[in-house]
Amino acid sequence: MRQYIQSLCQMTKDIVTNIRRIGALARFEYIIGTKGFFLGEIWKLLSPLIQIGAYWLVFGIGLRSGKPVDGIPFVVWLTCGVTPWIWLNGNINRAAGSIYSKASMLTRSNVPTCLIPLSTVFAHTMDNGWTVALLLVIYFANGCVPTLAALGLFYYLFCGLMFLSVCSLITSAVVMLARDFQKLLQAVMRMMFFLTPVFWQPGDSLPYFFQVFVMCNPFAYIVRGFRSCLLYDRVLPLDNRETLVFWGIVVVLYLIGGSFQGKVRKNLLDYL
């Protein structure tokens, strides 16, 4: 127990005292992200545009015949849900392999291992600025007008960054312990895509156990939060328990991340 507390305190100290270094690593990773590609940063806009367009054609035109949701154009309703999902899913998958991909650099430097997944999270978040810009274009092009509740997006961006950061501390360490975990994680994220209300609306008609699952699903909290702020003039969920559950999960994951990061920090060379 004492050793665990020491590892947790050391990780927290490393993060707090190296905020600037995390930012520098994130900027560097963002810059080299499209280096060598002919279209460069245009891919950061084209990729989500193609993805959202495909979803709209299949789910909006093919399955729904263009019908609106709660009087909201389906393409707007869809984009407000897909945008945070692209951000969350991309970050989870990329951050999981961050320490392993930079292991050789870590062995030749004094950079704490916990900084690497965090910098990856921030770099990918900067990448998704293009996706948010696309969301705003579609939002305003369809005649939608934001209210003061739209400022709640900053709260949900903060929620997403905290959740992704604590997840990255765990997943990046577990991948070092077992490489197969990254494949398993990708499969789980594909499943979570359909279990998260990106294309459907949660409601009382769902079985009780599934309502509880949605309430405890951090991805659902953020996706629904984006929609609530932009489309339903509401910042926090109607049920305050969802907020308490979300932040409870973040705290628990951070405590678990401290244990895993402590093991990787001490035995990095053994895991290579």
pLDDT for 73: 86
- Please state, for a pLDDT cut of 70, what percent of the chain lies above it: 89
Torsion angle in degrees (nearest 10) through CA of 14, 19, 25, 27: 170
The answer to whether 115 and 23 are in contact (CB under 8 A) is no
Contacting residues for 223 by C-beta, under 8 A, at least 6 apart = 81, 84, 85, 88, 196, 197, 198
Q: How far is CA 101 from CA 125, 156, 211, in A?
A: 19, 29, 38
pLDDT for 136: 87
Closest by Cα among 242, 216, 230 to 81:
230
Confidence of residue 190 (pLDDT cuts 50, 70, 90): very high
pLDDT for 264: 74
As given in the structure block, the two tokens for residue 93 are: 């998958």
pLDDT for 42: 72
Closest by Cα among 33, 154, 18 to 90:
33
The answer to whether 127 and 30 are in contact (CB under 8 A) is yes
- Please state, for a pLDDT cut of 90, what percent of the chain lies above it: 24
Sign of CA pseudo-dihedral 263, 24, 251, 99 = negative
The answer to whether 21 and 114 are in contact (CB under 8 A) is no
| Alpha-carbon span 185 to 182, nearest angstrom | 5
Closest by Cα among 39, 43, 65 to 134:
43
pTM: 0.89
pLDDT for 38: 57
User: Which DSSP letter does residue 238 get?
Assistant: S
Domain boundaries, the chain: 2-27+41-271
The lowest-confidence range among 5-19, 50-64, 74-88, 174-188 is: 50-64
